[in-house]
Structure 1
Amino acid sequence: MFNVPNPVDRTFGGKTFFTYHLAQAPDAVTIKIYSVNGRLLKTLDDVSANRGTNETGWDCRDEAGVRCANGVYFYRVIADTENGKIEQVGKLAILR
């Protein structure tokens, strides 16, 4: 699992793409983005995902639509499958 670009440059569109691989087709996928102090900033739910490699974009804005500040953030990809939950955590940086 990774995101590209990393670091994200806000002056060039400020968007990043999370890429992750799933060994089985999920029932649902959610991506949650957190500040370095653990505050939930954004939830991407109803993410379209299939078995294999998947990619989901994020515009680096929080739930209120405000651009996230420069800094380090963590993201969690959560896939609900028939065999239970699969969770992976990654780190990204936003620069201006």
Structure 2
Amino acid sequence: MESAPSGTDGDQSKPVDVLTQAGEIVELSRLAEMLHPEDDEFLTRIRRIRSEMSELQKLAARPEFRKISGERLRNLDKGMALARKQLLDVVRHAPAPTSTLQ
């Protein structure tokens, strides 16, 4: 029978995980912005995501971040996973820059 994580070591790594995920999302948003520079509505959404992730990186770097509840961390993880998935989909489905096969 598995026991639940104790809350010490697991929570200690969470800020690092959040920082890493937020950094990946920031980079994906930059790439997505370059792939679709003509869509103003899309660019507004991308810039908002980037701004939120940059703010999250600042918060996660603070010691107080370790005190947030497990439920809030799970919700944060879900939200970041969704944002990452959506940005990856945008990047994967971007049109090729050229029609010539290499």
Task: Give TM class, smaller chain.
Answer: under 0.3
Structure ranking higher in helix proportion = 2
* TM-score for the superposition, normalised by structure 1: 0.28
Larger Rg over CA atoms: 2
Structure with bigger RCO (C-alpha 8 Å, 6+ apart): 2
Structure ranking higher in strand proportion = 1
